Amino acid sequence: MGLTTTTETETPTAIAPVAAVPALPTVTTTTAPASTTTPAPTTTTAAPTTEPVAAVVEIPTTTEYIPLPEPEPVYIPEPVYTPEPVYTPEPVYTAPAPLAAVPPVVTYANCDAVRAAGAAPIYAGEPGYSLKLDRDKDGIGCDT
């Protein structure tokens, strides 16, 4: 019965990244060499004791800020001064003044007609005066 010693080599074990998770450090598990003093040559391998690592995945909750393009400048003309309208009342209709009474045109055929009308003596400027009624041309007709 001989004494046999068996040593195991290191077995690297890595966990692959899940989804789009940034690379995590690789976990390496090593087991200590096992030695036995049994009469029969046996090899014992210890199972690696690794627990799965929970991946932390950050899901973006907002979208990237993209500013809107600056608007084109809009031309706004300066206000034009317009004065307040001046109140002008409606014109009031005024009836025209009545026409002056036109004296009737009076003509006398002779001094007898002037005396018959009661207008003798007749003076220059009075209706019906005429030079044919004034013999002496002094401005008084039918005076005799």
Q: How far apart are CA 107 and CA 135, in angstroms?
A: 17
Distance CA 4, CA 38 (A): 8
Q: What is the pLDDT of residues 127-144, one digit of tens each?
A: 899 999 999 999 999 987
Residue linked to tokens 């002008």: 88
Where are the chain's structural domains? 111-141
Cβ proximity of 13 and 50 under 8 Å: yes
Share of the chain above pLDDT 90, in %: 26
For 4-38, the pLDDT digits (tens) are: 555 545 455 545 555 555 555 555 555 555 555 55
**Which of 44, 47, 6 minimizes the C-alpha distance to 29?**
47
DSSP three-state, residue 83: coil
pLDDT tens across 47-106, in order? 666 666 677 777 777 778 888 888 888 888 898 888 898 999 999 999 998 888 876 788
Helix (H) or strand (E) holding 114: helix 111-117
Which positions ≥6 away from 82 have C-beta within 8 Å? none
Residue 140 phi, psi (nearest 5): -125, 120
